[in-house]
Chain A
């Protein structure tokens, strides 16, 4: 932080170094001084005595020499620059920008839901596993139905998390309700896990009166103070420095909680990403930076987004411990987030988790991904590497899930959702007063005037205004 800290450390270093050269034992040359005494003199005591003196004289010479040499050699080996001691080398070697071997990806469960016998991990209980799986199914169905609703023109916009259900649910399952979530936009599963109902999701998407956001944000911009899920903001990456701020607040209060900031591969190009990692490291803030590397940022593949080995290598660049995990493996994600959370809170440090996955759906309802990527690529991930199916196999293998459970759950969720949509659609929109409230804590006179003007206009031209908006 303040420059004088580094200076004092340098002073200590300097003193230690000089002391060291005085206290350092003489190099081995001195030890072999006996061998230097002329052999022709034999072993008479007088000669031995003379030899000993010589050797000690020689020793002294060697000592004084080595003193100077040590000094020289020390400076030749390392220097205390601001920022710390660095070892010197005369070999010019550039660190490769891309590693010969990419950082390994942590995975526990294969595609058939089988776990490696040698890998040790804390087992997930039946209760948690069943809830995880049910929520993954719920998320899937929610995505499908809301997407259709948008296509039917009932809502204006939607964004699916297809293919990323494991990241959503498994990471949420590893957190505590006190942990603050700063999402980007493809993480409704976290809110779902915490207890947000299908009705509440629908209310936000339809912007109805019961929406906690009072109809002010576009669909999928959920927010819930109750569940510590901060309201989604559209610009990419803005939640990252805010996450650091929230973590700083937790740190000040010494809370047993951390912040989890979700973002995609595209967001890592934003300046805020870099500054946030840096800040979090410097401030030792308890944040988990969870990157959903799903390969695509609308139409930009990761090969055009960055040239590094993914995002995991960026962590160490800022001094942050990082790990790469198979984002389609619910067990692995769960395990990693749980461990990361422990580290973040107990060691008060940020952690970077890169979850590799694939964005099966389009970026949003305003996108048609067939325009920029081959359909069979999408099919491969949708069918072959499906995180929901994989987890299902594992849960079934444990005897915790059956075919009937599946069909029962699916039809029940579907019914609930359609019901929720109906209710939300028919519900009144937020009243006119909500256009002007919450801009400030108390509306200033100018907003009050503007509201009066608007009301007058509506009164004068009622036919131009929607009838389902209460005035």
Chain B
């Protein structure tokens, strides 16, 4: 398993077909060699102001403040720029500084710095015991993390690829999610289980798993998915501070996204969705990498005269039905865009949840765009066709809004 990963490393390039048009004030793209760079500044600009979440710093209780009234001046461009994997590392490092009980364990996380360099430099700084290299036995090092958590530590367990965590399913389901409950609240398990998942660039079926579908049913765990450097750092910090076991889903192709994030400390809420682009005509719910496909489709849709509202749900378990509900009540049409398989994915659960709660507000059936129920093929073209593409999203919205 490890062998395949050494070659791919952290520099996964996006194909030339994906280009973000740089018309919008908010999105500026640049092509730097083989690295695709997306810069998004979430600051409210003159005129239309999206509810910017957290240009301001937030500190206590892992709650994100909604729509800050004060607009910051963007003249001096505060904050610092970094890539998503660096943002994760920054969040991790800040938490390790803050709480000596926080530790990391996983394969090659120590001096190698992790397969995606999220833990680079941490072993030198905190020592081999706090950044622990484990032998290759996912069920066992997950179990180890659980045992350490029950004894008072706050481990972060890294799966080299989310797909390998299928081997840890027993520990995650039967113990991680369960022991707080079955022990009558005597033992708590504040672990964070994280790793890259999703469809990459020709990684083959076993390395393209969407574990959120399999894990979503386990009682006792929380699941969040990050998509930007800003929310990656915030969610990482929130997950570490949470007393519950949290699974943080990262995406193999998003590690090199660049963004300017605040210098001040901030922690996001684990149960909140992110309003990416407010709109009136249709609610598009998405998360992780699909957010970018949706935003690309949004460009096209805006040109065609539509006004989509894009929400990055971020919290996969539990769903932020408050934000989602408000959006549904406004637009009356829902499109879900996900990378999971059609059967039993996050989209399927979300469809059920929205239908149950907001059926009266829907003008049309919920449309869910997901991957087909096939193992992800290796061939590049075939792989591309299993993932929802912006063109499909545009068509779906057009049909929905008829």
A residues bordering B, Cβ < 8 Å?
Answer: 1-2, 4, 180, 182, 211-214, 216-217, 221, 223-225, 230-231, 233-235, 238-253, 271-272, 274-276, 278-279, 282-283, 437-441, 444-446
Distance of A213 Cα from B187 Cα, bound (Å): 10
Contact yes or no, B184 A1, CB < 8 A = no
B104: CB under 8 A from chain A? no
Find the B residue at minimum CB distance from A283: B132
0 or 1 for each of B243-265: is its CB under 8 Å from A? (1 = yes) = 11000000000000000000000
0 or 1 for each of B137-149: is its CB under 8 Å from A? (1 = yes) = 1011111111111
Residues in chain B near residue A234, CB distance under 8 A: 174
Of the residues A240, A244, A253, A438, contact of B181 by C-beta under 8 Å:
A438
B63: CB under 8 A from chain A? no
Residues in chain A near residue B132, CB distance under 8 A: 248, 283
Contact yes or no, A272 B143, CB < 8 A = yes
Contact yes or no, B318 A439, CB < 8 A = no
Listed by A's residue number, 13 A-B pairs whose Cβ atoms lie within 8 Å are A4-B111, A225-B183, A231-B182, A238-B175, A242-B144, A245-B153, A248-B129, A253-B152, A272-B143, A276-B144, A279-B144, A438-B184, A440-B222
Distance (whole angstroms) from the CB of A318 to the closest CB of chain B: 10
CB-contacts of B165-204 with A (<8 A): 170-171, 174-175, 178-188
Distance of A217 Cα from B139 Cα, bound (Å): 23
Contact yes or no, A216 B175, CB < 8 A = no
Q: Which 9 A-B pairs have the closest CB atoms?
A: A242-B147, A245-B147, A241-B143, A275-B137, A275-B140, A245-B144, A245-B148, A231-B183, A241-B140
Residues in chain B near residue A437, CB distance under 8 A: 185
With A240-B143, A252-B153, A276-B140 given, is the CB distance from A1 to B128 under 8 Å?
yes
Contact yes or no, A212 B147, CB < 8 A = no
Distance of A70 Cα from B141 Cα, bound (Å): 46
Residues in chain B near residue A233, CB distance under 8 A: 174-175, 178-179, 182
Contact yes or no, B129 A246, CB < 8 A = no
Find the A residue at minimum CB distance from B179: A231
Given contacts A225-B183, A225-B186, A244-B144, 9 further A-B pairs with CB under 8 A are A233-B179, A242-B175, A247-B147, A248-B129, A251-B129, A275-B141, A276-B144, A283-B132, A439-B220
Distance (whole angstroms) from the CB of B224 to the closest CB of chain A: 13
Contact yes or no, A445 B183, CB < 8 A = no
B33: CB under 8 A from chain A? no
Of the residues B134, B143, B145, contact of A238 by C-beta under 8 Å:
B143
With A233-B174, A246-B147 given, is the CB distance from A275 to B139 under 8 Å?
yes
Find the B residue at minimum CB distance from A438: B185
Distance of A1 Cα from B148 Cα, bound (Å): 20
Residues in chain A near residue B175, CB distance under 8 A: 233, 235, 238, 242
Contact yes or no, B137 A249, CB < 8 A = no
Contact yes or no, A444 B185, CB < 8 A = no
Residues in chain B near residue A249, CB distance under 8 A: 147-148, 151-153
Find the B residue at minimum CB distance from A225: B186
Distance of A216 Cα from B220 Cα, bound (Å): 14
Contact yes or no, A1 B146, CB < 8 A = no
Distance (whole angstroms) from the CB of B232 to the closest CB of chain A: 23
Of the residues B137, B181, B271, contact of A439 by C-beta under 8 Å:
B181
Residues in chain A near residue B152, CB distance under 8 A: 249, 253
User: Total number of A-B contacts with CB less than 8 angstroms?
Assistant: 167
CB-contacts of B106-155 with A (<8 A): 110-112, 128-130, 132-135, 137, 139-153, 155
With A238-B170, A241-B141, A252-B103 given, is the CB distance from A441 to B243 under 8 Å?
yes
Of the residues A213, A246, A283, A445, contact of B182 by C-beta under 8 Å:
A213
Residues in chain B near residue A271, CB distance under 8 A: 137, 139-140
With A2-B112, A231-B187, A276-B140 given, is the CB distance from A216 to B243 under 8 Å?
no
Distance of A28 Cα from B141 Cα, bound (Å): 56
Contact yes or no, A250 B147, CB < 8 A = no
Contact yes or no, B144 A252, CB < 8 A = no
Distance (whole angstroms) from the CB of A257 to the closest CB of chain B: 10
Contact yes or no, A182 B147, CB < 8 A = yes
B219: CB under 8 A from chain A? yes
B348: CB under 8 A from chain A? no
With A241-B144, A276-B140, A279-B144 given, is the CB distance from A211 to B184 under 8 Å?
yes
Residues in chain A near residue B146, CB distance under 8 A: 241-242, 245
Contact yes or no, B188 A441, CB < 8 A = yes
Distance (whole angstroms) from the CB of B270 to the closest CB of chain A: 10
B321: CB under 8 A from chain A? yes
Distance (whole angstroms) from the CB of B177 to the closest CB of chain A: 8
With A241-B171, A279-B135, A440-B220 given, is the CB distance from A216 to B181 under 8 Å?
yes
Contact yes or no, B186 A231, CB < 8 A = yes
Distance of A365 Cα from B188 Cα, bound (Å): 31
Residues in chain B near residue A282, CB distance under 8 A: 135
Distance (whole angstroms) from the CB of A453 to the closest CB of chain B: 11
Contact yes or no, A445 B321, CB < 8 A = yes
Contact yes or no, B184 A223, CB < 8 A = yes
Contact yes or no, B137 A279, CB < 8 A = yes
Contact yes or no, B182 A217, CB < 8 A = yes
With A241-B144, A246-B150 given, is the CB distance from A275 to B318 under 8 Å?
no
Distance of A231 Cα from B189 Cα, bound (Å): 13
With A1-B133, A439-B219 given, is the CB distance from A245 to B182 under 8 Å?
no
Residues in chain B near residue A240, CB distance under 8 A: 140, 143
Find the A residue at minimum CB distance from B271: A444
With A231-B182, A242-B150, A246-B148 given, is the CB distance from A1 to B187 under 8 Å?
no
Distance of A441 Cα from B188 Cα, bound (Å): 9
Residues in chain A near residue B186, CB distance under 8 A: 212-213, 223-225, 231
Distance of A308 Cα from B184 Cα, bound (Å): 40
Of the residues A247, A250, A279, contact of B140 by C-beta under 8 Å:
A279
Distance of A40 Cα from B183 Cα, bound (Å): 97
Contact yes or no, B128 A245, CB < 8 A = no
Distance (whole angstroms) from the CB of A395 to the closest CB of chain B: 35
Distance (whole angstroms) from the CB of A433 to the closest CB of chain B: 12
